[in-house]
Structure 1
């Protein structure tokens, strides 16, 4: 009597860290929500958590002290989100970090973190002109939602100056 052994070949699925890159009002969160549905991924958007935990603590007439407090809170939220993201990636579930990552060093750090976990890495860059960003900012600020911060126009203009768009090499 012959016996046949059939080995089951399992497809190895590797989770992907999707990094949203762009300035406020570029459409990152809108795209992140679409990717969340498309990939059945965990979407982590810091503004949503920050506002829920600490309220609307950003806006016009901020002092250096209140802005520093906001920034420290935001850094804490992003750190907690990364801890969650790392665990979820290890469980083979895609994660979308809706962080913005305005400078290359931040993007390189997340690329290295993904590699260390054995996850794939993809940047989703939303390149929007300054004029369009400022127009969208006016609309955003009028809406006053529970999930986005009011951003003074002067701040957005400041951030535009420090933003480093991803290079073609980064987007590969």
Structure 2
């Protein structure tokens, strides 16, 4: 999820402005997708291209709760505390005309609706980046990540990934149409180009 500070955006040729000055929030689901879909990779790209504050839940979990397990992260109170704090920071940044990328999964429609409505209420435009990746490819990516286990990541079993895939509510075309369309699309990671869908079916709202 990304929030963009007040600035006039131009097309790549530097011609007429494409959007009026306004904060903008990019919601990439909890960026949108399951583990291994590339949410954090895309969020990092948006972070640099938009000079945005990136709020990645897993990063904070590991920093605030060293040694936390995958099970604790899923069932304990820590994730709720972290995401609640990050969301308050995100809303504060919007009010200050800052850019923010909220890098969560946002697996449910209800959660996405709440984030969209609260961000709009404080003056943000909201863009949803849905990263749609087939399960087998997800597992290939996750298993490779498990072998290396980079800082800020959790070890995820195939059984957990399969269970989570059944809980995930992918956004429909109708839901995606509720979001704003960003006039300048961030360059996606190479391995995610075919699966990335960005919400918004018409001109960006002003």
Which category of TM-score, normalised to the shorter sequence, fits these structures? 0.7 to 0.9
- Rounded to whole Å, the distance in 2 between the matches of 1:122 and 1:66 is 27
Structure 1 stretches of 4+ with a deviation exceeding 3 A read none
User: Which 5+ residue runs of structure 2 have no aligned equivalent?
Assistant: 1-6, 9-19, 177-199, 201-206
Scaled by the length of structure 1, the TM-score of the pair is 0.86
The alpha carbon displacement at 1:137 in A equals 0.9
Provide the residue aligned with 1:54 in structure 2: 65
The alpha carbon displacement at 1:162 in A equals 1.0
2:80 equivalent among 43, 52, 75: 75
- Higher gyration radius (CA): 1
Provide the residue aligned with 2:21 in structure 1: 13
Provide the residue aligned with 1:160 in structure 2: 165
Aligned length: 157
What's the RMSD between the two structures over aligned residues? 1.7
The alpha carbon displacement at 1:97 in A equals 0.7
Residues 101-140 of structure 1 mapped to structure 2, 5 A cutoff: 101-140=106-145
Scaled by the length of structure 2, the TM-score of the pair is 0.72
Q: Quick check: which one's helix share is greater?
A: 1
SS in 2 for 1:170: helix
- Rounded to whole Å, the distance in 2 between the matches of 1:118 and 1:66 is 32
- Rounded to whole Å, the distance in 1 between the matches of 2:63 and 2:103 is 16
SS in 2 for 1:43: strand
8 A contact 1:56–1:149 mirrored in 2: no
> Given the alignment of the two structures, is residue 84 of structure 1 paired with residue 89 of structure 2, yes or no?
yes
User: Which 5+ residue runs of structure 1 have no aligned equivalent?
Assistant: 1-9
